[in-house]
Amino acid sequence: MKSEAMQANGQNGGSTPKLISVLRGRPHPRPPIWLMRQAGRYLPEYRELRAKAGGFLDLCYRPEWAAEITLQPIRRFGFDAAILFADIMMVPDALGQTVSFEEGVGPRLEAMEPETLLRKLDPSGTGAKFGLIYETVERVKAGLPAETALIGFCGAPWTVATYMIAGHATPDQGPARLAAYRDPESFARLLDLLADVSVDYLSGQIRAGAQAVQIFDSWAGVLPEGEFQRWVTVPAKRMVAGLRALHPEVPVIGFPRGAGVFADGFVTETGVDAIGCDTVMPLAEMQGLGKQAAVQGNLDPLLLVAGGPLLESRTHAIIEALQTVPHIFNLGHGILQTTPIAHVERLVALVR
């Protein structure tokens, strides 16, 4: 277990976790591995606790349960990082927008236009709910081996706003895109507010023990060039600058899913330490990005469901292509509920 001094400074007593050293730009012959959504419904131990909890939000706001769930995949697979168990909807919920989770569907919010949101949201009232999440981080940190990094996270302003405006996910996030075209000034103010609250939220996670943070922009890929710049890159840049000012040592991972040809500019302009790459990002592109930042991804979650020789060859191809750049092995999107545990075990063995 960790000494008091190590706990106090949030470090691992000189032994920097492999994941953190890769995030700082040092390639590693065997890349560290974790999987997006690694805690969740493909694990029987998750389903068991989930059944006891009642609602999904209750699970997120019960630190002893959320911490237990965060640790479940670490115990089972020995990943190089744990990611806080929570959801990107914590921010709208803490701001006072009503959030619920519909069984098997996803988040449901009370749909509102940006102007209404700006009038109704209360950034001064987030403390109580965020405090519960920070308590989860503290508990996880206390139960985590020193070599395992702890990642905090939040949703990116654009992606969170798409849910806040439409009330749920839509195939192309049309309602938010339309709102942004109709009233760009209000939209920009909403994203600034979300960016600033999210920096505060991530800073709290870092103070509680998170050693790196990831910003999930799952819907970045639906935006045209100018809008990508304004609603994805600019807010990420604002958040990176805000976090750097508070925590210059803590690496930031950006995950603009679907960024495609905009990925390079995103990395240069935002100054993220690492970029998460989705399933369609070519390995040659990842090699190029890896000259500027650490790269993370991009195994197809469906290939992990399928398993077999293609999983093996693709895993080797990813590792080989990215050997000379700082690389973190991960999926290109969250792990699927139907993923066999044996395939995850095989993947970890292959990467190691």
Binding site for ligand CP3 (CB under 6 A): 36-41, 50, 56, 83, 85, 87-88, 101, 106-107, 153, 169, 216, 218, 334
Closest distance of CB 20 from ligand CP3, Å: 18
Kindly state the tokens that stand for 120: 């109704």
* CB nearer ligand CP3, residue 133 or residue 325: 133
Phi, psi of 218, rounded to the nearest 5 degrees: -65, -25
The helix or strand, by DSSP H or E, that contains position 317, with its residue range, turns out to be helix 309-321
Q: Which of 46, 163, 273, 278 is catalytic?
A: 163
Kindly state the tokens that stand for 323: 């050997």
* CB nearer ligand CP3, residue 163 or residue 262: 163
Closest distance of CB 154 from ligand CP3, Å: 9
Integer CA distances (angstroms), 225 to 15, 75, 162, 229, 265, in order: 42, 43, 18, 6, 11
Calpha distance 121→194 (Å, rounded):
10
Contact 48/346 with Cβ under 8 angstroms?
A: no
* CB nearer ligand CP3, residue 84 or residue 325: 84
Closest distance of CB 158 from ligand CP3, Å: 11
Q: Which of 46, 61, 62, 87 is catalytic?
A: 87
> Quick one: which of 124, 119, 191, 182 has its CA closest to 162?
191
* CB nearer ligand CP3, residue 130 or residue 216: 216
* CB nearer ligand CP3, residue 250 or residue 325: 250
Closest distance of CB 234 from ligand CP3, Å: 20
Calpha distance 341→260 (Å, rounded):
31
Tell me the one-letter amino acid at 280. Answer: V
**Chain centroid, CA 73 distance in Å:** 16
Closest distance of CB 29 from ligand CP3, Å: 26
Q: Which of 42, 50, 139, 257 is catalytic?
A: 50
* CB nearer ligand CP3, residue 71 or residue 325: 71
* CB nearer ligand CP3, residue 195 or residue 325: 195
> 266 Cβ partners below 8 Å, 6+ apart?
232, 233, 236, 254, 256, 259, 272, 275
Active site residue 41: yes
Integer CA distances (angstroms), 283 to 33, 213, 256, 286, 314, in order: 17, 24, 16, 5, 11
Q: Which of 41, 189, 230, 244 is catalytic?
A: 41
Calpha distance 296→316 (Å, rounded):
15
Closest distance of CB 121 from ligand CP3, Å: 19
Active site residue 163: yes
Closest distance of CB 88 from ligand CP3, Å: 4
Per the listing, tokens 């075990």 go with 345
> 195 Cβ partners below 8 Å, 6+ apart?
157, 235, 238, 239, 242
* Phi-psi category of residue 96: left, alpha or beta, with phi > 0 → left and psi -120 to 50 → alpha: left
Catalytic positions are 37, 41, 50, 87, 163
